[in-house]
Amino acid sequence: MSIDANYLRNTLTRRALGVLLAQFLMVVPSLSADLSVRAFVDQRIVSVGDSFTLSVELSGGDANNASSPQPPDIEAFAAYRGSGSSTSMQFVNGQMSQTRTLDFYFQATAVGKFEIGAVTVLFDGVEHRSEPIQIEIVQGRPRRSQQQPSRTDVFSKDDLYVSAHAGKDEVFVNEAVIVTYKIYTRVDVSQFGISSLPENSGFWVEDLLGERARPQPTAEMINGLRYTVATIKKAALFPTSAGEKTIEPLEIECAVRLKPTRRSVFDDFFSDPFGRTVRYSVKSEPLRIKVLPLPEEGKPADFSGAVGTFTLEGQVNKTTVPVNEVASLKLTLRGSGNIRTLPNPEIEFSAGLEAYDPEVSEDVRAKADGILGSRTYEWVVVPRVQGRQTIKPIRLPYFDPKDREYKVALLDEIVLDVKPGSSLAVDAPRSGAAKEQVRFITEDIRFIKLAPGSLKPLNNPMFRNPTFWGIVLFPLIGLSVASFYARHRSRLEADYTYARSRKAGKVAKKHLAKARSFLSTPGDQQEFYSECERALSGFAADKIDVARAGMMTDDVGQLLETRGVPNNVIEDYLKCLRVCEMKRFSPAEVDSHESKTFLRRAETAIQQLDEAIST
């Protein structure tokens, strides 16, 4: 009997707790009301006698449940003329968001600078308040309302502008500074595009959004005015030298749709009811960045210019290897910083190991706060001597800008136990000179001519003489050539795309010739690779008829692929472009032999691309 009583008491207790918990969960949403209040005016400078609108925006899940606010008491400088309201709903990731806007119409009555007090909304016992707004009432017409023949005076520069913001105004050499470009607008912008990218000489630039990233507009309140804001570009800039640097402005061109203004019934009848569209260019202000030199104190002797945070990971696929059999060493460099410009690590193998040039692969990702990723190296290693063979510890000294000190990413020594094996060497070259294949002459015997050849009679009729037909046909051929040349010249003048394609090779050769002139001058590495990059990117842009400004390396590959260019030609071309991008900002010196080899490689890549597009 006692067992049944305990069971009944425990059951009732659990049910009571469940009911209390359910009631608590029902009350919690009401305690944390989802409601925000914002207020803004359509214009902050008004003439006496003109009307202005004060809008109060209630947003959140409880926007429709809250009571309507009362218009503020501003009878000292404005007369109340009426009100209106509108409601909008939006679904994002399954969540519904509501916005209710109440418009209060006033007419300015006094001159001076005034403050519109905060608008208060009381909901579920909680008071929600907007920010106060400053407004100025002037005598006569404000400057922005004056009609001028220039299209730029249709709206104020404060209604549409571009801002540039740098995450830091003081960085070290090769430390990333994140620059964000935003567009702010209070007018109807139907479309916009970047018309001029900043050159930013002295910086290595990495795009963080991607060319196809779609801007996501949001609403922001600035000085009591509501703006639609969107991030149009975000980039990580790595300065390559110390000193005061300037980040050049970004310029965009917008298509602004202007609402029609009613002046008479005839204007309403003949004008476009949807308004007219004008082109308008705006650009950001330049930014000043102070770039500090890397400190000399504590700098390692083998420091190669790496700035950021990095780690090293490495392993061999097998630690016990027979003589003359192949093993592989895989080394992975991870971290945040300008990974693309890091030089290859120096690996010291013991005398009994033979290693070949590594295969390098990258996985670099652009994040909102910088560049993250990894670079992987893989060496083919062949042990030639039996016994204990080692790969010396691998070091990567780098400067950590957050801690302002030098650090070292270190990989411990790797030991290989080489066992007796075959006395025959693997099928691989053993020296740098022997790695080049030897060409053999296939024709070593030349035979005496056995046939007498073609015999012709001495006396031929005139019409059988090629000279006769050459004289007869020469005028016709000349006229055909002249006609073709005239059509070619006419097309060059009328067809811009055709002219760019025809002149692409000539322009590229001009840049390559200028790059060749830098080979004889030591220390002109950046100028050499800059001219090579202009030749490569300019030739591709001219051939596929796109603007070279702002064209990214990955975009080149995709555009060439749509033109039917083979993948191997595209890959060779993109490799040359990436080498130019890396070498232009690499702190390491490049010998003249390597530059000459790359120049021949770039010429070959341009020639192959020209043949692929022309076919």
pLDDT of residue 172: 93
pLDDT of residue 343: 82
Predicted model pTM: 0.50
Q: Please choose, from the candidates 582, 470, 604, the residue with its C-alpha nearest in 3D space to the C-alpha of residue 535.
A: 604
pLDDT of residue 376: 92
Question: What are the per-10-residue average pLDDT scores of the chain (615 residues)?
Answer: 50 56 45 70 84 83 76 86 68 58 85 89 82 87 44 65 90 90 87 78 81 74 84 88 89 79 46 63 90 91 89 90 90 88 85 88 77 89 90 91 91 90 51 36 50 65 74 83 76 64 83 84 75 85 70 72 84 85 68 82 88 78
pLDDT of residue 377: 92
pLDDT of residue 573: 87
What is the b/e burial string over 23-51, where b = at least 16 CB atoms within 10 angstroms of the residue's CB?
A: eeeeeeeeeebebebbbbbebbbbbeebe
pLDDT of residue 263: 47
pLDDT of residue 293: 92
pLDDT of residue 292: 92
CA distance 156 to 184: 12
CA distance 271 to 600: 62
pLDDT of residue 428: 44
SS (H, E, C) 350-367: CCCEEECCCEEEEEEEEE
pLDDT of residue 85: 72
CA distance 42 to 327: 73
Q: Please choose, from the candidates 63, 173, 174, 44, the residue with its C-alpha nearest in 3D space to the C-alpha of residue 128.
A: 63
pLDDT of residue 439: 34
pLDDT of residue 397: 92
| Domains of the chain: residue spans and CATH | 36-145 (2.60.40.740), 151-292 (2.60.40), 308-435 (2.60.40), 487-614 (1.20.120.330)
Task: Specify the DSSP element, H or E, that contains 474.
Answer: helix 466-494
Q: Residue 391, exposed/middle/buried by CB under 10 A (0-12, 13-18, 19+)?
A: buried
Q: Please choose, from the candidates 256, 247, 255, 280, the residue with its C-alpha nearest in 3D space to the C-alpha of residue 180.
A: 247
